[in-house]
Chains A and B, each alone.
Chain A
Amino acid sequence: MALLRRLLEGVRAALQNRRVEQELDDEVREYLDTAIEQKVSAGMTRAEAVRAARVEMGSLEAVKDRVRDVGWESRVEALGRDLRYGLRMLRRSPGVSAVAVVTIATGVGAATSRFSVMRSLLLAPPPHVVEPGRVFRLHQMFPAEQVDGEPDVGAQTSYPFYELIATRAKSLDGVAAYTDAELAVGTGSAACLTRSAMVSADFWRTLGVRPALGRFIQNGEAHPARGSRVVVLGHAFWRGRFGGSADAIGQTLTIKGQPYEVIGVAPRGFRGVELADVDLWLPLFASDDAGAAATWHTYPTSFDVTVVARLKPDVTREQAAAELTSLQRPFLEEAYATFGVSSSLVERNRRARVVLGSVTGGLGGDLRPIPEARVSMWLVGVAFVLFAIAGCNVAGLLLLRAVQRRREIAVRLALGASRRRLARQLLTESSILALLGGSAALVTAVWAGAWLQRTLLPTMAWEPTTLSDPSVITVAALLMLGAAFVSGMAPLYYMRADGASVLRAGLLRGSGKQPPLLSALLAVQGALSVVLLVGAGLFMRSMHNAQTVDIGLDRDNVLAVQIDFSGSGRTSAAVAAFFEQALERVAALPGVTRASLAMDVPLRRVHMDYAIRLPGRDTLPTLPTGGPYVNEVTPGFFATVGMRLQEGREFLDQERNQSGVAIVNETIARLYWPGRSPLGECVYLGRQKTCTTVVGVVADARRFRIIEEERYLYYYRPLATGETGPRALLVRVAPGSKRLEATLRRTIVDLDPNLPLIRIETLGEALDPQIWPWRLGASVFTAFGALSVILALIGLWSSVAYAVSQRTQEFAIRMALGAQRASLISLVLKGGMRDALVAVTGGVVLALLGSRYMTDLLYGVSPSDPIVFTAVAAGILTVATLANLLPAWRVSGIDPAAALRAD
């Protein structure tokens, strides 16, 4: 009741504010007058009475203030006044305010965006999967080949093994197999590549997901050999290609040349249990749908599918894994028995087991976080470093401003303002700043998050959940409050002295020394900037190394033209003829240095066929990588792709349709014929009884990866003109003629307008996904590092400029006493450089400590690389020198007399 009454009184008073104020003023003045009268009638003179009464009463305004404080509405009003005052103050120094807002925005925005990205990548379970904690991916773990090596873990397994588990496993409540592929959809110019997933029976039931539209693939439709041509659209793909319309159901999509009926749409954001987005969901039937019956699903030891399973309610992970292992062992034994493998391999397989891996957390097939996830975790660290720097910066700027306003604060305290009032005012001011900065930060976070996702992690499935995600909002709010608190603390620190004593001590102008807190903040910023820039440098060097390392062939000047003719209805003879024609035409184009055909595009595909036997030798040395791998190529292949012939020659035109020649790589040469040249040697391929002559030796090239330490047995045979099977056109172009791609495409389409999708890319593009982690690291570290340097620079500049301006009088005196300009400048520089050196040293130490953890992410550069460290240290010291130099220069150019005269 009393509360309500107070509320109403407050409202009434607020509405009648002017009258209330007037009355208060009247009452207080009347009190004073009465007191004066009293004293006069007690015998004092008028003047004495006035003075005594005033002293007794204190400040009228203070009394009125305290009366006003009684009502709650006065607090609201005071808040309003504080807000207006705060805004005015901020407007007065717009530069600092803007910088502070931007700083908070970047710091908090970066941190929240990275956090949300990391969260959806690593912490969030796959969307739309029911009870994801009960769903696991199946991994097979084979013990290490060497005694102290790593066990071999992979998530790929064979279809027959999946069938076995599906029928016999008792601890599972649902098992499914899936695989993925990039498939061409549509024909001709409307063709596009899609990321597709191919799933087995029970896939949808195992995951517990329901369609957004239409229906899912039924169990009968999914079998690899006996399925149907149906397709479920991914949600984003459906929105993009079909405009989100319900008419999509029943339409036909041409996939790999065959018609597939659209039967449904998956829910928004659904990506199975993987992290990458999926455009189309197809039955496993589509995996080898080329008209002939599929056979891939019958091989028990191949690695074609990934298996995902849901545990029964009361089964633990260990129990299920044990049961699956007990099924795996006899399966493997039986499978390998029919292949007649070595006893050591059998022994190894006997110790194999099944491991169940979680579907949350970005784990790859080897049960370790995928590179995207690992780099993402690093980037969260980076973002928090930036946040720390931003926080230091804001605090520093506001501290500086507090120092500048010391005089003003001291005077106000002396005039009788209450401490609490002042503190409230300053806190309001910094809260406005924090609020502005925080809103800007949220906007930055959303925008930056979207940019980050699109540019740096494009293959992952992203949903725009940043704003609606409660935990992100919570984090953002906490960070904002933290920023407000930190920046609000700064001026209060300077109010701890009594106002009068500040004035008395003559600190109106302040000393030229920076407050130690400010120096510490600047040092921390400088050190952290060093850390970020060192990270940037290390990643950049890794990326550069990865991009320029010799992989044995030319990655930038060779274009690979690939056309998938499967399902297009052409005979293999027609395909072969087409490629021969294309080769002729393309080789004649201006700008094309050489062209050739090959069955496998280097870095993209390998295959094996015949084993090699040497006459007179029963056994040949083998390598753990297996092989030998083979590629059928036309004459000029090595020159086209830039592989170096160490001995011998390329194939000749007339050798194309012979089977008597081969070119081997240097690994084969050294292994089979150590110490001598293999030219002219005779080998038997497969079960041949006739010699195949070695006519050349080519230097090793990478098989698939930039970082490849294993050696491979690789040899080459001539590509016969009528050879069936896939092939590709390889074209070497003069450097700088990237536009040739369009001409190339036109030339090829001219030959046959009804071609399926034509893919043209450089050889090196196959390696881009591998370079991505370094590119990502380099970009983000550089961006954040640059930001942090700029922030630190602003902070440094402001504080140096202020400190120097405070010393104007001191400088003027020195100059009047005969000091030279140069000595003044060096005075300032010495102090500044000392601080900078401390900061840089600290940063270098931190960077050395931290970079050790980055070792496995770097390539070709040591985590304590002296070049990077020296460059960063030198750079920051130079920048710091300039920041110290320029203000000092300006101040030392003053006229001493004028400065001394001024106040």
Chain B
Amino acid sequence: MSADDTQRDLVQGTLHMLILKTLALEPMHGYGIGIRLEQVSKGVFRVNAGSLFPALRRLERDGLIAGEWRITENGRRAKYYKVSASGRARLRREARDWEVQTAAISRILQASRGEL
């Protein structure tokens, strides 16, 4: 995902969901989230700082994730995020909605001439 203004709004909700999922698996700091998303999606999604940080701030403001400063393995000070209880609940809900939507979209795309 690029930092293009016009595209940001479209995928903002999706990015939030993906971040929640990543943090649900393991608490990590900003850069790590970006790397993880890139790895797991096999290079399809490349999040940069301009999209990631605002998303983290929004999630933190809404109480879905909580951040705390920790010392990393390199001895640096970094802010680690972990998902909260309400964050998990939100993730479950959004994941379910996403499934429903994608299933519907798939059906439409695969419909043959007579069905549509």
Q: Assess whether B76 is interfacial by the CB under 8 Å rule.
A: yes
Q: Please state if A66 and B54 are interface contacts (CB–CB under 8 Å).
A: yes
Known: A58-B3, A66-B50. A30 touches B57 (CB 8 A): no
Q: Please state if A30 and B53 are interface contacts (CB–CB under 8 Å).
A: no
Q: Please state if B53 and A28 are interface contacts (CB–CB under 8 Å).
A: yes
Known: A58-B3, A58-B48, A67-B57. A27 touches B62 (CB 8 A): no
Known: A5-B61, A56-B48, A63-B49. A30 touches B79 (CB 8 A): yes
Known: A58-B3, A71-B57. A63 touches B50 (CB 8 A): yes
Q: Assess whether A34 is interfacial by the CB under 8 Å rule.
A: yes
Total residues of chain B contacting the partner, CB 8 A: 21
Measured CB to CB, the nearest residue on chain A to B59 is A70
In the bound complex, residues from chain B placing their C-beta under 8 Å from that of A38 are: 31, 35
Q: Please state if A27 and B30 are interface contacts (CB–CB under 8 Å).
A: yes
Q: Please state if B30 and A31 are interface contacts (CB–CB under 8 Å).
A: yes
Q: Assess whether A26 is interfacial by the CB under 8 Å rule.
A: yes
Question: A21-36: which residues lie under 8 A (CB-CB) from chain B?
Answer: 23, 26-28, 30-31, 33-35
Q: Please state if A30 and B49 are interface contacts (CB–CB under 8 Å).
A: no
Q: Assess whether A9 is interfacial by the CB under 8 Å rule.
A: yes
Shortest C-beta distance, B43 to chain A (Å), equals: 15
Q: Assess whether A600 is interfacial by the CB under 8 Å rule.
A: no
Complex CA distance for A5 and B31, rounded to whole angstroms? 27
- Encode contact with A along B1-37: 1 for CB under 8 Å, 0 otherwise: 0010000000000000000000000000111000100
Complex CA distance for A485 and B63, rounded to whole angstroms? 39
Complex CA distance for A70 and B55, rounded to whole angstroms? 8
Measured CB to CB, the nearest residue on chain A to B53 is A67
Q: Assess whether A681 is interfacial by the CB under 8 Å rule.
A: no
Q: Please state if B53 and A9 are interface contacts (CB–CB under 8 Å).
A: no
Complex CA distance for A70 and B62, rounded to whole angstroms? 11
Shortest C-beta distance, B91 to chain A (Å), equals: 16
Q: Assess whether B92 is interfacial by the CB under 8 Å rule.
A: no
Q: Please state if A70 and B58 are interface contacts (CB–CB under 8 Å).
A: yes
Q: Please state if A67 and B54 are interface contacts (CB–CB under 8 Å).
A: yes
In the bound complex, residues from chain A placing their C-beta under 8 Å from that of B66 are: none
Shortest C-beta distance, A25 to chain B (Å), equals: 12
Measured CB to CB, the nearest residue on chain A to B61 is A9
In the bound complex, residues from chain A placing their C-beta under 8 Å from that of B63 are: 5
Q: Please state if A58 and B62 are interface contacts (CB–CB under 8 Å).
A: no
Q: Assess whether B77 is interfacial by the CB under 8 Å rule.
A: yes
Most interface-central of B54, B62, B74, B77 (chain A CB within 10 A): B54
- Encode contact with B along A25-66: 1 for CB under 8 Å, 0 otherwise: 011101101110110000000000000000011100011101
Measured CB to CB, the nearest residue on chain B to A418 is B5
Total number of A-B contacts with CB less than 8 angstroms?
Answer: 64
Question: A811-858: which residues lie under 8 A (CB-CB) from chain B?
Answer: none
Q: Assess whether B95 is interfacial by the CB under 8 Å rule.
A: no
Q: Please state if B76 and A30 are interface contacts (CB–CB under 8 Å).
A: yes
Shortest C-beta distance, B1 to chain A (Å), equals: 14
In the bound complex, residues from chain B placing their C-beta under 8 Å from that of A28 are: 49, 53
- Encode contact with B along A601-614: 1 for CB under 8 Å, 0 otherwise: 00000000000000
Total residues of chain A contacting the partner, CB 8 A: 26
- Encode contact with A along B35-57: 1 for CB under 8 Å, 0 otherwise: 10000000000001110011001
Known: A70-B61, A71-B61. A26 touches B31 (CB 8 A): no
Q: Please state if A37 and B62 are interface contacts (CB–CB under 8 Å).
A: no
Q: Please state if A31 and B31 are interface contacts (CB–CB under 8 Å).
A: yes
Query: Of the candidates B30, B35, B57, B69, which one forms a contact with A70 in the assembled complex, judged by CB atoms under 8 Å apart?
Result: B57
In the bound complex, residues from chain A placing their C-beta under 8 Å from that of B62 are: 2, 5-6
Question: B71-97: which residues lie under 8 A (CB-CB) from chain A?
Answer: 74, 76-79
Complex CA distance for A31 and B29, rounded to whole angstroms? 9
Q: Please state if A33 and B76 are interface contacts (CB–CB under 8 Å).
A: yes
Q: Assess whether A69 is interfacial by the CB under 8 Å rule.
A: yes
Q: Please state if B31 and A69 are interface contacts (CB–CB under 8 Å).
A: no
Complex CA distance for A71 and B61, rounded to whole angstroms? 8
Q: Please state if A58 and B77 are interface contacts (CB–CB under 8 Å).
A: no
In the bound complex, residues from chain B placing their C-beta under 8 Å from that of A27 are: 30, 53, 78-79
Complex CA distance for A864 and B105, rounded to whole angstroms? 75
Measured CB to CB, the nearest residue on chain B to A2 is B62
Q: Please state if B48 and A57 are interface contacts (CB–CB under 8 Å).
A: yes
Q: Please state if B48 and A30 are interface contacts (CB–CB under 8 Å).
A: no
Complex CA distance for A591 and B58, rounded to whole angstroms? 93
Known: A6-B62, A58-B48. A66 touches B53 (CB 8 A): yes
Q: Please state if A34 and B31 are interface contacts (CB–CB under 8 Å).
A: yes
Q: Please state if A23 and B57 are interface contacts (CB–CB under 8 Å).
A: no
Query: Of the candidates A5, A37, A56, which one forms a contact with B74 in the assembled complex, judged by CB atoms under 8 Å apart?
Result: A37
In the bound complex, residues from chain A placing their C-beta under 8 Å from that of B31 are: 30-31, 34-35, 38
Shortest C-beta distance, B85 to chain A (Å), equals: 15
Query: Of the candidates A9, A30, A70, which one forms a contact with B78 in the assembled complex, judged by CB atoms under 8 Å apart?
Result: A30
Shortest C-beta distance, A69 to chain B (Å), equals: 7
Shortest C-beta distance, B99 to chain A (Å), equals: 24
Most interface-central of B3, B31, B62, B63 (chain A CB within 10 A): B31
In the bound complex, residues from chain B placing their C-beta under 8 Å from that of A71 are: 57, 61
In the bound complex, residues from chain A placing their C-beta under 8 Å from that of B50 are: 57-58, 62-63, 66
Q: Please state if B77 and A26 are interface contacts (CB–CB under 8 Å).
A: yes
- Encode contact with B along A739-752: 1 for CB under 8 Å, 0 otherwise: 00000000000000
Residues of B within 8 A of A (CB): 3, 29-31, 35, 48-50, 53-54, 57-58, 61-63, 69, 74, 76-79
- Interface pairs (11), CB distance under 8 Å: A5-B62, A28-B53, A30-B29, A30-B77, A31-B30, A35-B31, A63-B50, A70-B54, A70-B57, A70-B61, A71-B61
Known A27-B30, A31-B31; 16 more pairs at CB < 8 Å: A5-B61, A6-B61, A26-B79, A27-B79, A28-B49, A31-B29, A31-B30, A34-B29, A38-B35, A56-B48, A58-B50, A63-B49, A63-B53, A64-B53, A66-B50, A69-B54
Q: Top 3 nearest A-B pairs by Cβ distance? A: A34-B31, A70-B57, A67-B53
